Amino acid sequence: MGGAVRLARPWSLRELVRDLREGRTTPEDAYQRALRRIAETEADLHAWVDRAGFLPGAGVPLGVKDIIDVAGVPTRCGSALRAEAAPATSDATIVTAWRAAGAVPLGKTVTTEFAFFAPGPTRNPAAPGHTPGGSSSGSAAAVASGQVPLALGSQTAGSVTRPASYCGVASLVMSHSRYPVTGVTGLSSSLDSHGVFAATASDLAIAWSALTGEPAPVRPPRILVWSADALDVVEAPMRHAVTQAAKRLREAGATVSAFLDERLVADLTGAHPVVMAYESARERAAELAVAERLSAPLAHLLRTGAATSSEEYESARAIIADGALRLAEVFGSYDVVLGPAAPGAAPRGLDATGNPVLSRGWQALGLPVIALPGFTDAAGLPLGLQLVGRHGGDAELLGHACWVERVLAGDSW
């Protein structure tokens, strides 16, 4: 697959912004570069659903996951139910914000069906024949292949962090409610969060500063290392990557300790799917009414949620509320939690999107999470790490991630 074309070749947003500022390139050049790269790789990758009415010269090319409204383009949500959807009449709030920051939608990227588990056609640029992850598969692949330097996703369980890890790029899951989800076809109101993909953490920091006006000062963090042993899913190569990262960060001057409260994360991980199913059955009530037309995984989710009692839901929410208080105490002494972003490298095959279990606990709390590329297994497949920060501390987390990224890349200080 791919012939002589190298599929995994991310496009540095940092370099593009520098070249734009210094006059070495123009927005029109960036637009044409995106089109050329899509022409080279799209037949192999299938990352895109629709193209938007991009105005050359208007800004940085941006991919937008196809559950997020872009004016003039249908929002099909990866579902046959939306195949004939009319074009959206306005942008989602998050798209409006990114336009103001200087990013302009090039088009809509592939999502799994209603951002759940049924895969779309997208393939993994870094590991042909292996899943790109989900549900933000098209956005992760578009960035990993260099089709665009920036792409939007969303996360309800592990839909941003896992694709970033599998495809070998960086991602940010924003703190829950950092931006409204108006104009986004969601699953779970208390869990849905915005996400964004870029080549590196430093690229994400540039994008964040443009979006929010908040700087991301680079400094070493106080780190807790989460092994995820209690969840019993982490494969040996990923475990080794986490151990090596912790060693190198400690040697570079970071405070590094073990995250000992494994039961806390395990409890949150168990509560998450209860909340997700209950809220999804109500958020997607129209789809539940025609569940026979949905994929088996999505139909099962919605039916499970419909059968979940309010008492079960409130019990799960209480576990999450208690976990938030306990973790807030932890973040009084530490800045980030470092751990595996996925159980291992992308599984072979395209009929599933991988296991989101390592994101569920953190997503239950609505915390900001950054996936960092840089490690590989013996076969050369990407292994991503995740850094988890305190709620609302997105800019702070990005600064810490940039420091970690430089250390792991071998850059001196």
- What strands lie across the sheet with 369-376, from one edge to the other? 48-51, 103-109, 60-65, 150-155, 193-198, 170-173, 369-376, 382-388, 336-340, 222-225, 255-258
| Cβ atoms within 10 Å of 377's Cβ, excluding its own | 17
- Cβ atoms < 10 Å from Cβ of 308: 18
Q: Does residue 135 have a cis peptide bond before it, meaning omega lies within 30 degrees of 0?
A: yes
Beta-carbon-side half-sphere exposure of residue 393 (alpha carbons within 13 Å): 21
- CB distance 231 to 361 below 8 Å: no
Give the integer Cα–Cα distance in Å for 220 and 334.
Answer: 11
> Largest alpha-carbon pair distance within the chain?
61
Looking at beta carbons, which pairs linking 287-291 to residues 24 or more positions away fall under 8 Å?
Answer: 287/79, 287/81, 287/114, 290/81
- Of 65, 171, 175, 193, which is the active-site residue? 65
- Residue appearing with tokens 């509560």: 271
Task: Please pick, among 79, 108, 135, 193, the residue that the annotation labels catalytic.
Answer: 135
Residue 108 catalytic? Answer: no
Residue 412: active-site member: no
**Catalytic entry in 79, 139, 154, 159:** 159
Residue with structure tokens 């008492």? 311
- Is residue 159 annotated as part of the catalytic site, yes or no? yes
Give the separation between CA 340 and CA 171, rounded to whole angstroms.
Answer: 14
- Catalytic residues, which ones? 65, 135, 159
